[in-house]
Amino acid sequence: MSGGLDVAVLTAWLGRVAVRYAAEQGYLCDLDAAIGDGDHGANLARGFTAVVAKLGQPASPAALFKSVGMTLIGTVGGASGPLYGTLFIDMGKAAGESTTLDAASWAKVLAAGLAGVAARGKAQPGDKTMIDALTPAVQALQGETDLTAALTASAAAAVHGAEATKKLIAHKGRASYLGERAIGHQDPGATSLAMLLQGLASEAG
Amino acid sequence: MKKFINAADRVVEDSLAGMAAAHHDLIKVHYEPNFITRAGGPVKGKVAIVSGGGSGHEPMHGGFVGRGMLHAACPGAVFTSPTPDQMLAATKAVDGGTGVLHIVKNYTGDILNFEMAADLAKEENIHVNAVVTDDDVAVQDSLYTAGRRGVGGTVLAEKICGAAAEAGADLETVTALCRKVNASVRSIGVALSACTVPHAGKPSFTLEDDEIEFGIGIHGEPGRRRAKHASADELAAMMMEPILTDLPFTKGDHALLFVNGMGGTPLIELYVLFRKAHAIAAQHGVTISRSLVGSYITSLEMAGASISLLRLDDSMTKYWDAPVVTPALRWGA
């Protein structure tokens, strides 16, 4: 993929992610039922279906990210809506005027999204949240100039980060009330975040 | 699952339509995004109070919209936080030019969505303050968790702050009063049976005939511990002990005692609990000078009850007694 991330590629990515969340919603709900309230997969499937329906033809990656973010905060609900919404809205602010994102600009954009989510959720790495998948994904992009290699490494790091949440005690959200009973369960938000970045690697990697 | 519903995904809208029809003189229901306001428009020059949360806790919050209490409420899906577009629309609809107070129960989803709504409102030059209620003593360790949950004390805060706003108090005064009410109230809940979320179709947990869940929240989530069922007097004592010791309440305090039904417990039983809770307060030297008994913050059809105790001062007492005209609370007018 030499052309970089433009509106067409990003639109195709979101379509792919919507299909994946619809297919995996039972799995994500089961992960959530173990340590939360069991609606994560259904909420994300509903949100990304709406994202695809409302997207239209945005003029730039920045406009696309903002549209996705606003749709997600209005349709997902719970904690995931504002967190995923903030991710995309802050990515949009960082995308600026670019029509096509290369590896370096994508690294900057995703880092801005991470900063927004961390500030919104007041979460840090190790709290057993989506931050635990997003942080290594951002780190894996640093210094990588080839977009394909960057997206592949970033997705793999996110998946690894999500799996590593199994051994963590949750410090945020409803799972935090479980204490040590949360150990052994993979965080649903980290898992869905990894799926999001796997989708981008598949689409543009 | 045996419920008076047409379809799980229509429960909230169908119920809102019923509320709108039943209380058209008091409230107006807005759809897409969903929120409830007073029947009249914004009150110029007076602070507006907006609350909201998942549905399934009726009459909270929509039933508290009206003169002397809330200006707007945002109902989410059952047990799911409403979204910022709802809160923003409600905030804009009721802003009388002197600012809006958001009263938010301490749940991660509610806080994040209300924070986003407040950010968006600020971009539109509406001054928003937020107070997070967290009166549930069942959650002991708030350092490493999302903290204590907002439960029964929220109802009392909405009534008292609504009266202060009606009396013309400014935003900072109403905000400070809300924080004071929250800091002065402690609550705990007990479930005798679980509840069934319509879209889940099955109970959130199961209790044997001789078991209770002690320290439940309001979403059918498990509590602090499971215990053997006991007499009402024993349960009231179990509930009053952590409430009295946490604040702590002391001899000579005047307090409001609120015994709340979780949705499936009849008033006759709530009064049995009130009798003992009142006696325990008296033994502790706490005078119960105001009271509220009934189902005001519920968990669908859950059988159970919560007890809240609020230490009153003269100002809180005055605002508690002030007139209120809402679908669920009405006196003095």
CATH number of A7-204: 1.25.40.340
Question: Do the Cβ atoms of B219 and A37 come within 8 Å?
Answer: yes
Out of B77, B199, B200, the one facing A77 most closely (by C-beta) is B77
Determine contact, residues B283/B174, Cβ cutoff 8 Å. Answer: no
Residue B38 bridge partners (DSSP): B27
Domain ranges of chain A: 7-204
In chain B, alpha helices (H): 11-22, 84-94, 108-123, 153-166, 171-183, 232-246, 267-283, 314-321
Report which of B308, B234, B226 is spatially closest to residue B276, judged by C-alpha positions: B234
What is the predicted ipTM?
0.74
Are residues B74 and B172 part of one domain? yes
pLDDT category of residue B40 using cuts at 50, 70 and 90: confident
CATH number of domain containing B80: 3.40.50.10440
Q: What is the mean pLDDT of residues B41-66?
A: 95
Share of chain B above pLDDT 70, in %: 98
Question: Is B249 among the domain residues?
Answer: yes
Q: What residues make up the domain containing B171?
A: 8-183+320-331
**Across all residues in chain B, what is the average pLDDT?**
94
CATH number, domain of B281, equals 3.30.1180.20
pLDDT at B243: 97
| HSE toward the beta carbon, residue B170, CA cutoff 13 A | 2
pLDDT band at B142 (very low <50, low <70, confident <90, very high): low
Nearest to A81 among B33, B79, B113 (CB): B113
User: Considering the domain boundaries, does residue B260 fall inside one?
Assistant: yes
- Residue B50 maps to a domain: yes
Residue B127 included in any domain: yes
In a domain, B2, yes or no: no
**What is the pLDDT averaged over residues B182-196?**
95
pLDDT tens by residue, A185-198 = 899 999 999 999 99
Within a domain: residue B14?
yes
Integer CA distances (angstroms), B6 to A146, B9, B116, in order: 54, 9, 33
Distance from CA of A182 to the nearest CA of B (A): 12
Q: Do B116 and A82 touch (CB under 8 A)?
A: yes
B57 part of the active site? yes
Same domain, B40 and B189: no
Residues of chain B with pLDDT > 90, as a percent, come to 82
Does residue B3 lie in a domain region? Answer: no
Per residue in A96-129, pLDDT (tens digit) is 999 999 999 999 999 999 999 999 998 999 999 9
Of the candidates B268, B271, B241, B260, the residue with the CA atom closest to the CA atom of residue B305: B260
Instruction: Measure the N-to-C terminal CA separation of chain B; round to a whole number of Å.
Output: 41
Look at residue A134 in the predicted model and tell me its pLDDT: 97
Q: Are residues B218 and B165 in the same domain?
A: no
Pick left, alpha or beta for residue B99 (phi over 0 → left; psi -120 to 50 → alpha; otherwise beta). Answer: left
* Tens-digit pLDDT profile for residues A139-149: 999 999 999 99
Number of separate domains in chain B: 2
- Spatial distance between the Cα atoms of B319 and B167, rounded to a whole number of angstroms: 9
Same-domain check for residues B116 and B87:
yes
**DSSP helix/strand/coil, B164:** helix
Residues B163 and B270 in one domain: no
Give CA–CA dist B264/B269, Å, rounded.
11
Return all residues near B53 (Cβ < 8 A) that are at least 6 apart.
B60, B61, B74, B75, B76, B81, B82, B105, B107, B110
Q: Which of A99-108, A192-201, B31-40, B217-226 has the lowest mean pLDDT?
A: B217-226
Token pair recorded at residue B147: 């903290």
Q: What are phi and psi of B218, to 5 degrees?
A: -115, 20
Which of B297, B243, B242 is closest to B270 using CA atoms?
B297
The predicted model gives B234-262 an average pLDDT of: 97
Same domain for B292 and B194, yes or no, is yes
B108 and A174 in contact by Cβ < 8 A? yes
- pLDDT per position as a tens digit, A71-89: 999 988 888 999 999 999 9
The two structure tokens encoding residue B29: 């229901």
Query: How far apart (Å, rounded) are the C-alpha atoms in residues B317 and B75?
Result: 29
Pair B57, B15: CB distance under 8 Å: no
> Lowest mean pLDDT: which of A90-94, A156-160, B194-198?
B194-198
High-pLDDT (> 70) share of chain A, %:
99
For residue B1, being part of any structural domain is answered with: no
- For B276-321, how does the pLDDT look when each residue is reduced to its tens digit (9 = 90+)? 999 999 999 999 999 999 999 999 999 999 999 999 999 999 999 9
pLDDT of amino acid A2? 52
Kindly indicate the confidence band of residue A172, based on its pLDDT and cuts at 50, 70 and 90. Answer: confident
Half-sphere exposure of B86 (CA within 13 A, CB side): 34
Closest chain A residue to the Cα of B76, Cα to Cα: A77
Residue type at position B179:
R
> In chain A, which residues have their Cβ closer than 8 Å to the Cβ of B79?
37
Query: Buried b / exposed e across B280-294, counting CB within 10 Å, b at 16+?
Result: bbeebebebebebbe
pLDDT of residue B144: 62
The answer to whether the CB of A83 falls within 8 A of the CB of A120 is yes
For the purposes of burial, counting CB atoms within 10 Å of the CB of A6, is it exposed (0-12), middle (13-18) or buried (19 or more)?
Answer: middle
For residue range B97-141, what is the model confidence (pLDDT) as tens digits? 999 999 999 988 899 999 999 998 998 999 999 999 999 998 876
Q: Are B169 and B192 part of one and the same domain?
A: no
How far, in whole angstroms, is CA A150 from its chain's centroid?
A: 16
On the question of pLDDT at B37 being above 60, the answer is yes
